[in-house]
Amino acid sequence: MSKNVFASVVLGVALCVGHAQAQQARTVDGSETEARVAALQALWPADLVQLTGQYLQQYPRGPWADVARNWQRRATDSVRVLSRGDVHLYRSAFQGTGEAASINDEIREAALGSQAAALRLAYRYQKGEGGLTQDQNRYVGWMQFASVLGSAPASYELALYFRKEGQPALASQYEARAVSLGYNPPLALDHVRK
């Protein structure tokens, strides 16, 4: 009988230890998930760099580590672009909207250095589409961001924009950038070319 009691106690302890280990594993998994979700929800490039760095520090071999490394590299490039004096785009442009998840996804893609996403955001601000208000400053800022990321169409469009705004020096800079990026502008831009 005492052997049965002893076996029951050992079994009970083993079950408690197993339960505690399983609980600890769930907590670690939960923490990993929370760290990943925090990075997935970030929109500002500097926040993406920080949160992916924290994830990689805590989970260097985690299930999302390869993606985190890629995102960290891409967001670091975006931080460099945003620190330039010729890109007038600030943290407030990366706030997103609570209602339109597609806009938030678009902003995150742009924060990760997507020229195409930056162009789409510029056009949405130009026209006031997708839940975003019409804003010429944001349009120009997103175009500048796309241009420095290497978008020839954004560079050319900025050349046209600044030419119409009576800023030929800026227009010629963006036209030269568009050409250096492989864009072939028409022979005559418009009748206002100087």
More confident residue, 13 or 77: 77
Question: What pLDDT, on a 0 to 100 scale, did the predictor assign at position 114?
Answer: 98
CA–CA separation, 158 and 178 (whole Å)? 9
Question: What pLDDT, on a 0 to 100 scale, did the predictor assign at position 185?
Answer: 79
Tell me how far CA of residue 186 lies from CA of 119, 143, 170, 173, in angstroms: 21, 20, 18, 17
Asked if pLDDT for residue 160 goes beyond 90, the answer is: yes
CB 82 within 8 A of CB 89: yes
Asked if pLDDT for residue 12 goes beyond 80, the answer is: no
Model confidence at 98, in pLDDT bands (50, 70, 90)? low
Long-range contacts of 60-68 (CB under 8 A, 24+ apart): 62/32, 62/36, 63/32, 64/32, 64/36, 68/36, 68/39
More confident residue, 143 or 100: 143
Question: What pLDDT, on a 0 to 100 scale, did the predictor assign at position 21?
Answer: 39
Please give the mean pLDDT across all residues of the chain.
85
pLDDT digits (tens, 9 = 90+) for 31-57: 999 999 999 999 999 999 999 999 999
Percent of the chain with pLDDT over 90: 73
> Can you give the pTM of this predicted structure?
0.79
pLDDT digits (tens, 9 = 90+) for 103-152: 999 999 999 999 999 999 999 999 998 888 999 999 999 999 999 999 99
Asked if pLDDT for residue 3 goes beyond 60, the answer is: no
Percent of the chain with pLDDT over 70: 80
b/e map 139-160, b = 16+ CB within 10 Å: bbbbbbbbbbbebbbbbbbbbb
> How many CA atoms lie less than 13 Å away from 141 in the CB half-sphere?
17
Question: What pLDDT, on a 0 to 100 scale, did the predictor assign at position 42?
Answer: 95
